[in-house]
Structure 1
Amino acid sequence: MPVTQEQATWFADAFDKLVGNVDQAILGKSQVIRLVVTALLSDGHVLLEDFPGTGKTVLAKALANTLDGTNSRIQFTPDLLPSDVTGVTIYDQGKGLFEFHKGPIFASIVLADEINRASPKTQSALLEVMEEGVVTVDGVGHSVGSPFMVIATQNPIEQAGTYSLPEAQLDRFLIKTSLGYPDHATAVTLLMDSGNRARASKITPIIASSSIPTMSQLASEVFVDVSVMQYLSEIVTATRTDKDVTLGVSMRGAMALSRAVKTWAISAGRTYVTPDDVRDLAVPVLAHRIIVDPESEFAGVKAEDIVSRILVSIAPPAYRAA
C-alpha cells in the first residue's frame, strides 16, 4: 500500500523527535544520530569505528532510553565465550528439566563494545542473531524480539590483541560510521557541564519500543522508481569491477542500501526515493563491505574514496515530473 503524504509527514516528525532527544546526550552529532536511527528503522545494525571517549556508549544508552526499551552492554575480551553473549541452558534439578537463561544479547539496543577484541568464535555467535533475530542454543531457537539493534564499536588505532572482523560479520552491519570529536563550541558546552556524568540516564522515553516495527513497516512501503533502483545497482556493480577492489559489495549490501534509502527518504517527509538519497547513504552503507586491493591500500586508497569516486563516475537518473 503506497505511503500517503500525511503518513510521511508524521514519520518525519517522529524521526526528528527521536534524533532531537538523543542529541541531548550526544551534542552536535545530529547527522550521525540520523544514520543510527535510520539503521534502527531499517532493521539494521551499526558499527562505530572511533577513538575511546567519543560517546559511543552514551549514544547506545540514550537511544535505548529514548525508545523506552531495554539495553545491555557486552564488553568484548579475548576470554569471552559465545555462551556469555547468547545465554546458556542449565539443568534445574527441582523441576527436572533444562531451562534457558538468556544472555545480554536479549535487549532492544545491544552495545557490543570493542567487538574486535573477542575471538572469531565469539564474534560468530552474533552472525545468526544479527541476520535473523534468533539465537539457537542446543537446537532450540529463541527470538530476541523487536526492535533489536546491535551497536558495535572498535578502536581504529589500537590493533594489538584484536581479531579483525571477517567479511561475513561486516556484511551484517547496515551502516558503519563514527562520532568523531566535537567541534569547539560543543566541546566548551560539554566542559561547562562536565559534572553531569550520566547524560544518557537523563534521557526520557518519547516513543514506545513497540512503535518501531510499525515505523519500519511504513518505511518499507516508500515508493522507489525503477530508474533509481537501476542507479543503485550500477553503483554496487561498479564496486565489484573497480581496479582497486579485491571484493566488492554483495547482494546483501545492495538490499541493505535499498532498505536504508527508503527510511532516509521518508525521514525527510517524502513518499518516494530520489537519487540523492542513494548518494547520501552510499558511503556509510557500502564502504565497509569493500575489500581494497592490498597494493592500493598500501598506496593510501580507502574504501570510502572508491565509493565516492564511483558516485562521481555514474550519472544519476534525471528527475521526472509526476
Structure 2
Amino acid sequence: MIIVTGATGVLNGATVDHLLRSLPASELAVVARDAAKAARFAEQGVEVRTGDYADPGSLPAAFAGADQLLLVSSSDPRADAVALHRNAVDAAAIAGVGRILYTSHQGAAADTPFGPGRDHFATEGILAESGVPWTSLRNGFYAHSLGWFLGEWRETGVIQVPVDGAVSWTARDDAAEAAAQIILADGAYDGPTTLTARGAPTFADIATTASELIGRTVELQVLGEDEWIASQIAAGQPEFMARFSLGMYQAAAAGFFEGTDPLLSELLGREPRTVQDLLGSPISAPAAQS
C-alpha cells in the first residue's frame, strides 16, 4: 500500500491524483489532520486515516501497512519543523514502513541562509539514521511562489529584490507528477533525488522575460537587504516574514538554487514548464515552500 500525508494540500494532493491514474484506489491511503478535508479522496474509494505530526501517538496506526509512505514537509515558518518531521520518521519506523519518501528542497544544506533548507537537511539526516530505506525529493523552488516574490510587476513595471541570484523555478504540479512516477518506480530512486526545471534564471533574467510578455519594460531594482526589509515592513509585511523571505534571496545569491538536473524531464517524458510559461499564467502564493 502507498500512504500519502498532506494530501489535503496542493502538492501531495496532486501526487495522489497522478497515482490514481495508474493505481486502483484500494492501493492508496491518505493521512490528514482533518479527515473531512480529504472527502474528495474518500469519494474515489481512497482510505482516509487521521494523523498529525504534532501528535506522535496518532501516527503509527496511520502509517501501518505502508510499503511506501510519502511525507510532506511542514510549511509553517514558525513551527519546529525538524521535531515534527522526526515524529513522523520515528512513527514510520515503528509502523514498519517499507520506504519513506520526503518532500525536501533543492539546496538543502546545513549552511544555507534559507531556513527551510536547513530543516530539510536536518530531516534528511534523521531519515538516514532511521534504518528505513528513504528517498528525499529535492524539488526546485516552486514557481507559483513567484506570484509573491515578484509583487505587482504587471501594474508597476518594477520587480524589487534585496539581492539577485539564480533559481531553478519549478512548477509544483510537475514536481507532484514526478513524485508519483518515483513512487511507481518502487525503490528505483534512493537518497537525495533532485527534481528541477531545466533553467535557472536570475531575477534580472525574469525581468527581461516579463518585459517580453507584456510588451513594455519591467525594471529590476536591487535595493540591498536593509532597504528591502524596510520596504516590506512599510508595506505591511510582518518583520519575521520579511526576514524569512530574505533568507531565500540570500540563498539564491549564494548559489544554493542555481543547479539544474535532467531527471524531472525524464520522469515527465516532456520538458518541464518554464518561468515564461508560468508568468504567462495567473500565479499567486505565499512565500513558504513545502
TM-score by length of 1: 0.30
TM-score by length of 2: 0.32
The structure with the larger Rg is 1
